Chains A and B, each alone.
Chain A
Amino acid sequence: ETGVTQSPTHLIKTRGQQVTLRCSSQSGHNTVSWYQQALGQGPQFIFQYYREEENGRGNFPPRFSGLQFPNYSSELNVNALELDDSALYLCASSLAGRETEAFFGQGTRLTVV
């Protein structure tokens, strides 16, 4: 079992609201990547954090933002929620340069109504 934990596991929000998702990294990992996985799709890269700085971003609008803390845990914030934001959000932690060996969390299922 990996050490990457995400919270909450499920939540329901109303369109227009804001949400914060949390991720606790595998011990020793300094890089965190966030992915959005819509139903029937593969994970889509949102952004990556390394040593508390965003160092890469996918094709997502600025209302998707994040933070990484000194202990390498991370948050994903989404403002002005839209119905299409409903998805499984995955966090993956790794060592820098070894993102394909990342450990994934179990995900947070976000439903926007």
Chain B
Amino acid sequence: AQRVTQPEKLLSVFKGAPVELKCNYSYSGSPELFWYVQYSRQRLQLLLRHISRESIKGFTADLNKGETSFHLKKPFAQEEDSAMYYCALRVSGGYQKVTFGTGTKLQVIP
């Protein structure tokens, strides 16, 4: 069975400091990894996906199959980045089940 682990419940950084939100996964096949974000009083929304290798709001994430990781990074944190971040894994075949991690709350201190 697939699993997504986010070891940090809370990550506090100062504005302008680099951010790295950790995500590790376990899955025997070839997964698709994603990051979702939930800002205060807003709905859960897709932030980025590994397959498109995109940078959204300055965030990037690289899939490391050797370390089974998909850490989310941003070189300079901004106050508006404060939110809950969820790492997620999608298993293809049949139906598309998405497995979420437990989430990390990012707090950017002004």
- Measured CB to CB, the residues of A under 8 A from B are 2, 4, 33, 35, 40-45, 48, 50, 55-56, 58, 90, 92, 97, 99-106
Contact = CB atoms under 8 A, between A and B. Distances in A.
A29 B34 CA distance: 21
A48 B95 contact: yes
B97 interface: yes
Contact of A40 (B43, B45, B90, B102): B102
B8 to A, nearest CB: 13
Given A43-B44, A101-B46, A104-B45, A55 B86 contact: no
- Give chain B's interface residue range (CB within 8 Å of chain A): 20 to 34
Contacts of A41: 102-103
B95 A42 contact: no
Contact of A2 (B43, B98, B99, B101): B43
14 contacts: A4-B43, A40-B102, A42-B86, A42-B100, A43-B100, A45-B99, A56-B97, A92-B44, A100-B49, A103-B43, A103-B45, A104-B43, A104-B44, A104-B45
